Amino acid sequence: MKRNSGNYLKSPDLLPISHKEKSISTTGFFFMWIGMSVLLATFAIGAAGVQSIPLGWVVTATFIGSLAIGIFITLIGDIGIEHGISFPVYMRAPFGIVGTHFPSIIRAVSASFWFGVNTYFGATAISVILTILYDYDNWFICFLVFALFQLINTALGIKWVERFAEISVPFIIIVSIWMYSTLSTQALEQGKSVWTWVESPVSGVATITAFMVVVFANMGFWATLGADIPTISRHIKAPKFERNWFKRNKGTLIGSVIALPLTGCFMIMIGAASFTAASTNNPVIALQDSTTGWMLWVLLIMVILTQWSTNISANLVPAAAIYSNTGGPKVSYAVAVFIAGIVGIVIQPWNVMDVILTALLIIGAILSSITGVLFVDYYILRKRRVNVPDLYKNDGQYSYWKGINIAGFLSWIIGGAVACLFLDYSFIIGFIVGSIAYYVLAKYWWFKKYNQKEIEDPDDEKYLGITVGRDWEIDTNGETDEKDDAVSL
């Protein structure tokens, strides 16, 4: 039975999820990804792209970037699938039981920032529509009310997040198709073809640069979720005793490498069509002059659902897990959700709209090196085996030096710094540099000082989770009971 001993490492919301507690189906996660991918901030990438290169190239770059980050997301998501643990809990391995808080809080603040950005996008569009319908113009009140409803929905738990996606996605898809069709027609009426018109065409090396900016902007956009996907994936249903990586991670894979790229590309097309037709990256604003009556209500509902579905899955759930981890047992999941909301408001996202692409690249640089560290730690050094009980112990193998893994910190700093020097290619550079730095520092220095049991003795029966049928459960005394259905394989 899971109970709370008062140990800050054992916040009830961060204890491992057992196989029977996994509640998100493959279909449910697929719909969640569609809901997450349809948001007004994504339209900004399409609008920015067609200012330099044709839409065909923008869509191609988006597909490449989305597919690449989708693969990264699925790889890291195996941590949650296999062991049922969240991002801030696993981060205790490569960063230490104390060190985990520093990169995790940066991720949480980033998620809170995006919650604020998406809520602001939605609030301004809602305000515009309400002004037309009822002559009511107050975007800040719309912002606060909109934020409150999202926070309440998320605080109710992960199953309500999945249910919201399943209900909202069909409506979102239908309205998105209508938006693209209408905006494309408006552009043609002005003598502009969405697929060939470019505001300020570039050539030569500048074309390659513009293409790669779109690729890495899309990767940077989802780099936040790429790092902490275990917080969501630990809830995704997966088969026991399945050693085939693809079959075990089917639920994450279908959503991350199919739903994300396809939906992302279509949203980019809508953003590009909006800019072509009305010189704005917000299709709601582009359509408001030509839309009246019930269609305005359709747009209003569309705005609410798109921002809502993204925020609760991609931003509030991961941020809440981290704030709960930092605050320990005294900060419940529900309280942590509202902390994320408050941080997102205090950041004042309405002041950063003009630098959103640059922000995406910088965030991608900072978080990509963390993803690199996670990848090397989990797949290359530990080979997916984790001493889960010690993740919840103050004096276990992950206590390192005063609770900090110096190798992880140095690798994160080195990778992030180098990535920021090459901002247009930030994600891939940060990932590669962070990975190499951590492999060398951890393998040949840090883990020689602090032995890791699962590396010294890579025993499947001791250190694998769902692959051998094991559910990790932490008791009040800091010891671990293994609900183990494992058999010798």
Q: Which domains does the chain have, with CATH numbers?
A: 18-450 (1.10.4160.10)
pLDDT, position 333: 81
pLDDT, position 418: 93
pLDDT interval class at 307 (50, 70, 90): confident
Examine the pLDDT at 53 and tell me if it is beyond 90.
yes
Among the residue ranges 61-75, 165-179, 226-240, 431-445, the one predicted with the least confidence is 165-179
Q: Would you tell me how many other CB atoms lie within 10 Å of the CB of residue 128?
A: 21
Distance CA 237, CA 225 (A): 19
Q: Would you tell me how many other CB atoms lie within 10 Å of the CB of residue 241?
A: 13
pLDDT, position 45: 87
What is the arithmetic mean of pLDDT over 389-403?
93
Distance CA 462, CA 460 (A): 5
Joined tokens for residue 83: 């062991």
DSSP string, 314-345: IIIHHHHHHHHHHHGGGS-HHHHHHHHHHHHH
pLDDT interval class at 151 (50, 70, 90): very high
Joined tokens for residue 393: 């112990």
> 265-281 burial by CB neighbour count: b if 16+ within 10 A, else e?
bbbbbbbbbbbbbbeeb
DSSP 24: B
Distance CA 461, CA 470 (A): 9
Distance CA 217, CA 215 (A): 6
DSSP 4: -
Examine the pLDDT at 289 and tell me if it is beyond 50.
yes
What is the arithmetic mean of pLDDT over 303-330?
80
What is the arithmetic mean of pLDDT over 474-484?
53
pLDDT interval class at 303 (50, 70, 90): confident
Scanning the structure block, which residue is given the tokens 């195996």? 78
pLDDT, position 7: 66
Count the residues in the chain. 489
pLDDT, position 360: 63
pLDDT interval class at 489 (50, 70, 90): very low
Task: Provide the terminal-to-terminal Cα distance of the chain, rounded to the nearest Å.
Answer: 28
Give the list of residues 6+ apart from residue 289 with CB closer than 8 angstroms, or none: none
pLDDT tens track for 1-27: 344 444 667 777 789 999 999 989 999
pLDDT interval class at 352 (50, 70, 90): low
Among the residue ranges 164-168, 185-189, 276-280, 344-348, the one predicted with the least confidence is 164-168
β-partners of residue 408 are: none
Most confident of 29-38, 213-222, 225-234, 440-449: 440-449
pLDDT tens track for 327-351: 766 788 889 899 999 998 887 877 7
pLDDT, position 396: 92
Among the residue ranges 242-246, 325-329, 344-348, 403-407, the one predicted with the least confidence is 325-329
pLDDT tens track for 26-42: 998 998 888 888 776 68
Distance CA 77, CA 75 (A): 5
What is the arithmetic mean of pLDDT over 392-413?
94
| Percent share of the chain, pLDDT over 90 | 48
What is the arithmetic mean of pLDDT over 363-391?
91
pLDDT, position 292: 66
What is the arithmetic mean of pLDDT over 154-159?
80
What is the pTM for the complete model shown? Answer: 0.84
> What average pLDDT does the structure give for the chain?
86
Among the residue ranges 126-135, 178-187, 281-290, the one predicted with the least confidence is 281-290
3-state secondary structure of 483: strand
Scanning the structure block, which residue is given the tokens 């939605």? 122
Which position has the higher pLDDT, 405 or 482? Answer: 405
Cα-based angle 44, 363, 266 (whole degrees, multiple of 5): 30
Distance CA 135, CA 432 (A): 53
pLDDT tens track for 461-471: 999 999 999 99
pLDDT, position 297: 78
Which position has the higher pLDDT, 284 or 177? Answer: 177
